[in-house]
Amino acid sequence: MSSNRWHLYCGQSTPGILREPPGQTLELMMRGLSPAKMETFYARNSGSPEEATRRSGIHGLFPGANIGDFLFEPCGYSVNGVMKADEYFTIHVTPEPEFSYVSVETNEAMEDYTNFIANVLDVFGPSSFICTLISDSDSKAHGNHEILKEFKLSNYRRMEIGDWDFLVGKKVTYAAFEIESRRRRRNSTSDSDGESRASSSD
C-alpha cells in the first residue's frame, strides 16, 4: 500500500428509532510527525505522563478537562479526558520515526473547528493528516462541514475532500492534507526520475 487509506463502516437504522441527542465526532489522524516534538513521548525524556502532557502542549488543547494520561516504556503516550455534558477526547501517540502516528478524537461541540485543528497541528507537526467530521443535522457543529470545504492552511495543501449524507440524518466530511515541502520533494524526485529515464533512452 503506497498511500494512506481511510475506511468508513456505517450501519443504519430506520429513522425515528434512535432517540439520541444531536452529536458530533471530529478525528485527526496524523503521520510523519516532527521528530523533535515526538521526543517528548519517550520515557527517557519525560519523567512522568503529566510532564509529557505539559511539555508537548496537549494540556492546552482541552483546558479544564479531567484527564488520565499514560507514558509507556520505552516510548508511546495515551490520554483520555472528559469535559462537561458528556464531552470527551482521546489522543494516542506512536513516536518512532519509522512509523510515527498520532490520532486525536473528540466529540466536543464547536461552531468552528479550524482554530482547534491548527492548534493540534502545532503540537504534533505532522507531514500529512486526515481530518474527518461526523455529525447529526441538529448538531451545533454541523456547520463545520461547509467550513472544512473552504479550510486552508498556509503550509499544507489539501489533497482530497469528500462528504456524504446518510439516511439517519448524519453527515460525514473527509479531508486529506499534506505539507507543501513534502509534496515539492516528491514532485522533484519524480522529475529527476523522468530526466534520468530520458537520459538513459538517449
Tell me the pTM: 0.82
d(CA 21, CA 86): 11
**pLDDT confidence tier of residue 1, bands split at 50, 70 and 90:** very low
- The set of cell numbers assigned to 162 is 469528500
Computed on alpha carbons and rounded to an integer, the radius of gyration of the chain in Å comes to 19
Query: What pLDDT does residue 85 have?
Result: 76
pLDDT for the residue numbered 117: 96
- Residue 135 grid cell: 455529525
pLDDT in tens, 50-64: 999 999 999 999 999
* pLDDT > 60? residue 198: no
Q: Which class for 184: exposed (0-12), middle (13-18), buried (19 or more C-beta within 10 A)?
A: exposed
Mean local confidence (pLDDT), 65-69: 96
What are the tens digits of pLDDT across the range 12-44? 555 555 566 668 999 999 999 999 999 999 999
Whether residue 201 has pLDDT greater than 90: no
The side-by-side arrangement of strands in the sheet containing 77-82 is 66-71, 77-82, 88-94, 101-106, 24-31, 128-136, 170-179, 156-165
Architecture of domain 24-179: 4-Layer Sandwich (3.60)
